[in-house]
Structure 1
Amino acid sequence: MGQVFLQSRRIAEYEVDLLGEPGTVLEIGPGHGVLTKILVERGFKITAVEKDRYIFGELQSLRAANLNLINMDFLDMAPGSYDYIIGNIPYSISSPIVFKLYEFEFRRSVIMVQKEFAEKIAFPDDMSRLYVNAHVRYNVELKRYVSRKNFNPQPEVDSAILVLEKKKYEEPYPLEFLDGVLVQMFSKKRKKLSNIFDICPEDLADKRPSNLTVSEILGLARLLFDSGSSAHR
């Protein structure tokens, strides 16, 4: 299922509480405005991006000096800087939206996503490109689960609220380089590292990408960067 709409004001207030003191906030996909109304009331300076023209028309009734409504797809939005980013994310495009978030500067993001997707970011059974990219940039916390009964139409799965808190990135190589290594690695995740990369630490040679720790992946990327190559076999 794609877009579903949160009906509970209590849960929406909980999400806004997680942001902190009022500041600039980008809201992704405001829908019928359950979060937007609370953000307006609390005094945040809001940029709300809604793709659907019909829903955008409905949102026009929320006239407020601290609200800027934009009718466009968040995935097409130019990167910017905000204190916060918030949104109840459509299940079907959760991964593209999270990767798009990486282009923005913010202190904290509060997003509600499908339960299983949240768990892949917060504490996965297997390592993934999504997990590593999130954890090198942010402190990630799954705050609570949200029952499917709080949405209309009611989805077949529950949701979860994630908080992403910006942290200092300390590796010597650019994040773009790291992501390139991750793409190579997880596109061949069933192979051993020695069959993916020309250069590989001996203690990792027989491991597969999904069995690595974040620290091991960062160390491998550092070795590849220092050698001037991320060449794969």
Structure 2
Amino acid sequence: MNSENSISLSKTTKSILNQNGIKLNKNLGQNYLIDKNKRDQIINFGNINENDVILEIGTGIGTLTIELAKKAKKVIAIEQDKNICDILAKRLKEEKIDNVELLNEDALNIEFPKFNKIISNLPYQISSPITFKFLEYDFDLAILMYQKEFADRMNGEVGTKNYSRLSAMLHFKCDVKKLTDVSSESFIPKPKIDSTVVKLTPKKNKISLEDFKIYSKFTKALFQHRNKKIRNALIDSRHIITNLDKKEMKKCMNEIEDEKLNNYLKKRVVVVTPEEILFLSKDLNSILNG
């Protein structure tokens, strides 16, 4: 981050914050990108054209927003902090940018307007829930920045420490591609960990909505106890997948005669593939909730 342009973005960002008496809160995920080269790289990854409607979560003072608006048909910009939102509204007016729909909302609690691409430096503390929310929508691609450790879990391989509910959920919904790492030096305030930019490309017709809904519940139940055997993990998290009490659920499990299903129930969660979880979830759902 040695170029004059990067220094300029850093100075501009600090100046705007100082002028408005804003002190960023790391605990709220307010880590602002001040590296112009990385900012431009992220935007270029989006391959934006004049027909694109971009969704941006956690806009901050508009480091991405303003440049996105210059390339896209429209930007839907969501920022929860009222003071920051007001600063961005003022900047957009000064720049004479009129194709940004600025929403002062909690992104986790609203229905998103129609969009076809997502480009965001996400607030770190909502990385998991906002990613799961994205999966409920249809879109062409998403260019998203996460903490590096989180990004590593998105592509976690079965049986490894990075294999998680996140990687299992993404398996049927998106291809995940790591694009570039971003040093902690590229932000203010400086976070404790580097970041990674990833590209999500939705998979088409990989799994039905109904099957995915069931799969999602079972995946959530299983990965609350990732090192336990599947049978025990599901019993311990039964409230997520069934209304049966513990005694009733054990009785159902003990009466299963399918040898393949019984063999899966003896495995540890962390070594079972997404395809196997899908098989389990569909069969067990009919048994437990038939």
Regarding TM over 0.5, the answer is yes
Matched residues in 1 for 2:120 and 2:276: separation? 32
Stretches of 4+ aligned residues off by more than 4 angstroms:
none
Quick one: structure 1 residues 220 and 128, their matched pair in 2 at CA, closer, same or farther if it must change by over 3 Å? Answer: same
1:70 aligns with 2:97: no
Matched residues in 2 for 1:115 and 1:202: separation? 37
Q: What's 1:31 paired with?
A: 60
8 A Cα contact 1:181 1:230, kept in partner? no
Q: What's 1:57 paired with?
A: 86
Matched residues in 1 for 2:156 and 2:279: separation? 21
Q: What's 1:148 paired with?
A: 184
Alignment of 1:143-182 (within 5 A): 143-172=179-208, 173-182=210-219
Work out the number of aligned pairs and report it. Answer: 229
CA-atom RMSD in angstroms: 1.9
Matched residues in 2 for 1:86 and 1:100: separation? 15
Alignment of 1:1-233 (within 5 A): 1=26, 2-22=29-49, 23-60=52-89, 61-63=91-93, 64-124=97-157, 125-126=160-161, 127-172=163-208, 173-195=210-232, 196=234, 198=253, 201-225=261-285, 228-230=286-288
For the pair shown, which has the larger CA radius of gyration, 1 or 2?
A: 2
Unaligned runs of 5+ in 2: 1-25, 236-252
Superposed CA deviations along residues 116-147 of structure 1, whole A, max 9, x for unmatched, are 00001123524321111112111111111110
Please state how far the C-alpha of 1:79 moved relative to its aligned partner: 4.0
Task: Answer with 208-217 or 189-198: which moved more.
Answer: 189-198
8 A Cα contact 1:82 1:107, kept in partner? no
Matched residues in 2 for 1:187 and 1:44: separation? 42
8 A Cα contact 1:79 1:103, kept in partner? no
The structure with the largest strand share of the pair is 1
8 A Cα contact 1:80 1:104, kept in partner? no
Please state how far the C-alpha of 1:190 moved relative to its aligned partner: 3.0
Please state how far the C-alpha of 1:80 moved relative to its aligned partner: 4.3
Please state how far the C-alpha of 1:50 moved relative to its aligned partner: 0.5
8 A Cα contact 1:136 1:169, kept in partner? no
Query: If the length of structure 2 is used for normalisation, what is the TM-score?
Result: 0.73
Matched residues in 2 for 1:41 and 1:21: separation? 10
Percent of aligned pairs sharing the same letter: 31
Matched residues in 1 for 2:45 and 2:271: separation? 33
- What SS is found at the alignment partner of 1:33? coil
Letter paired with 1:211: V
The structure with the largest helix share of the pair is 2
